[in-house]
Amino acid sequence: MAKINFGGTEENVVTREEFPLKKAQDVLKEETIAVIGYGVQGPGQALNLKDNGFNVIVGQRENSKSWDKAVADGWKPGKTLFPIEEALDKGTIIQYLLSDAGQIAVWPTVEKYLKPGKALYFSHGFGVTYKERTGIIPPKDVDVILVAPKGSGTSLRRMFLEGRGLNSSYAIFQDATGKAFDRVVALGIGVGSGYLFETTFQKEVFSDLTGERGSLMGAIQGIFAAQYEVLRSNGHSPSEAFNETVEELTQSLMPLVAENGMDWMYANCSTTAQRGALDWWKKFRDASLPVFKDLYSEVAKGNEAQRSIDANSQSDYRVKLEEELKELRESEMWNAGAAVRQLRPENQKK
C-alpha cells in the first residue's frame, strides 16, 4: 500500500501499479460476483468486471425495466442473469447495489443467503452506518466491504471504455475471513477504479451525503439559479445568462480545473477575471460556510438519512421525483440550456 501526501497529510492509497489487474483476477479467480441491482451503479460495475475477466452474474427482478436493460446489455437469462434469490444463492461475493430504499426492502431476503465466508459488498455506507434506521445488520461470519466510485455508474463505464479510471474509496467494516482487504481491493481494481483511497463506512456516507447536497449537486444548482435570476432580472437574455452561468463553467473552465487545479484555471483566464475571482471567492465561502456546517450536522445526526428513507420508501416516490425533476427541466434556465447544447458544434447536423 502506498502513502501519498495530500495537501500535507499522508494517506494510504492503492494504485493499479502495485495491485495490477492480473493480481486482482488471481485473488477472485474462485469467486462468483453477484451484482444485485441494475440501476445506477450496477450496470457500470458489472460490465467493467465482466470486461476485465471476472466471473460475474446479475440478480434483478424479472419483468422489470432493469431486467430488460440487463438483457439489452448482453446478460443472458439463466446463464449470467438471474432472479435476485437465485443470484444470491450462486454468489460468493454479493455486490449489494440496489438503492438505499431498495436495500432496506430486500434485506430480509439477502440476509438468508449470507452463508459463512461470503462477502457483502456495498458502494455506499448508508445501510450499515444507519443500521438502527435501516435494519441492515450483517452476520458476523461474512466479510463486509465497500468500494465507492466517486461518480455515477454512467461515468464509471464511460471512463473505463476510454481507458481511464474513476477514483474510488474503499473500506472494510468486517473481516471475517482474513481475506477482506484483498477482496475489496481486487474488486475496486476490477470495477475500473483509477486508484483507491482508504475510508470507513461512516466517513464515506457522511462525506457523500454532504457532497451530494452541497457542491456536487444541491449547492451548485442553487448557485446557478441565483446568478441566472440576477442576470435575467437586470435585462440579460436567457442565452447570455445561461452561457455566463453554466455553459462557460462546464465546457471551458471545469475541464481546466480537472486538468491541473483551480490556480491553473485562474491562470488561463483574463487578469480582470482573475482579480474578480480572487476578491470574491472568500465572500462566497463565508456566506455558504454556515449552510455547510448545518448540512453536515444534519447528516451526522441521521436526519438526512431519515428524510431519504421516508421519501424514497413511499409508493409514489418516482411519480413525485419526476414532478420535481420536471420543475427543473422546464425552468427557463434549463430550457435555455437545452437550446444552447443544441448549438454546440458537435451537435450540429453536418
Which active-site residues does the annotation give?
A: 124
- Residue 31 assigned as binding residue: no
What's phi and psi for 120, nearest 5 deg?
-110, 120
Alpha helices by DSSP H, listed for 191-270, are 201-213, 218-233, 238-242, 248, 254-260, 262-267
Helix or strand holding residue 317 (H, E): helix 317-329
- Residue 244 assigned as binding residue: yes
What's phi and psi for 313, nearest 5 deg?
-90, -5
What amino acid is encoded at 82 in this protein?
F
- Residue 212 assigned as binding residue: yes
Distance CA 291, CA 219 (A): 10
Sign, CA torsion 78/84/87/93: positive
Residue the block writes with cell 455553459? 247
Q: What is the DSSP letter of 345?
A: G
Distance CA 43, CA 58 (A): 9
| Contact yes or no for 116/178 (Cβ under 8 A) | no
Distance CA 5, CA 44 (A): 30
167-206 in b/e form (b: 16+ CB < 10 A) is ebbbbbbbebeebbbbbbbbbbbbbbbbbbbebebeebbb
What amino acid is encoded at 122 in this protein?
F
- Residue 270 assigned as binding residue: yes
> Which residues, other chains included, contact 185 with Cβ-Cβ below 8 Å and sequence gap of 6+?
14, 19, 24, 27, 170, 196
Angle at 183 between CA 14 and CA 170, to 5 degrees: 45
- Residue 208 assigned as binding residue: yes
Distance CA 151, CA 35 (A): 18
Q: How distant is the alpha carbon of residue 196 from its chain centre?
A: 14
Known binding residues for substrate: 270
Known binding residues for Mg(2+): 208, 212, 244, 248
Known binding residues: 208, 212, 244, 248, 270
